[in-house]
Amino acid sequence: MPIERGKESEHMLNFDITILEPLHTKWQTTTHRSKFEYYCKYVNTKYWEHYKTSQPEAQVHIRTPMPHMARRAISLMRTRSHMLKVETGGWLKIDAQKRTCTSCDMQAIEDETHVTLRCPAYEHIRANFQQITHGCHTFADLLLKTAPSPTALGTYFTRILEHHKTLMEASKEDKNHTPPQGENISS
């Protein structure tokens, strides 16, 4: 049915009331859920079934028994439900090119590829997981590399996210600590 000229705003209001308001209300009552979980459960329930069966090499973490923390870390990284600046900068409306890593001097955007494969601040973690990172150039390479095991990948992501949290907490402490006026910090 075509929309009559001049009644577009009325139709948009009806759309807002019938479609968007119930979704927004449901989202508000489930704010503890991840964006991906909310999307699968309330917006597109058929997507979850497709997700579990498409690209099985990238979904191996779903079928493999592993510790909760390892599975959670893989899911957080895959769905960008983490605290890296590539994600949090969007919440703060920071220009995408300005979401740079403050843990190194590379002036690179702090995204999944940077922290897992390039940032020097995470080198000590990568050194312990060379069997996973060897030959990977992008974050997608890591996800598709199933050897030696998805559990090892989850453990690697867990360590990366834990270290990131530690670095961010230390950065906040440094910013919050300002010497009192007249105090000489070099002594």
User: Does pLDDT of 80 surpass 90?
Assistant: no
Mean pLDDT calculated for residue range 63-86: 86
The pLDDT tens digits of the residues spanning 46-60 come to 555 555 555 555 556
CA distance 130 to 136: 10
CA distance 80 to 153: 16
Mean pLDDT calculated for residue range 66-80: 87
Q: Which residue has the higher pLDDT, 121 or 67?
A: 121
Q: The tokens of 84 are what? A: 């890296």
pTM score over 0.75: no
Q: The tokens of 46 are what? A: 């058929």
pLDDT band at residue 185, thresholds of 50, 70 and 90? very low
User: Does pLDDT of 63 surpass 80?
Assistant: no
CA distance 104 to 161: 16
Q: Rounded to whole angstroms, what are the CA distances from 171 to 69, 111, 154, 176?
A: 25, 18, 26, 9
Q: What's the mean per-residue pLDDT of the chain?
A: 76
Q: Which residue has the higher pLDDT, 73 or 54?
A: 73
Q: At what angle do helices 68-78 and 150-176 cross, to 10 degrees?
A: 70
Q: Which of 80, 123, 77, 90 is nearest to 104 (CA)?
A: 123
What is the percent of the chain where pLDDT is above 70?
59
Q: Cis omega before residue 150 (within 30°)?
A: no
The pLDDT tens digits of the residues spanning 99-157 come to 999 999 999 999 999 999 999 999 999 999 999 999 999 988 888 776 557 889 999 99
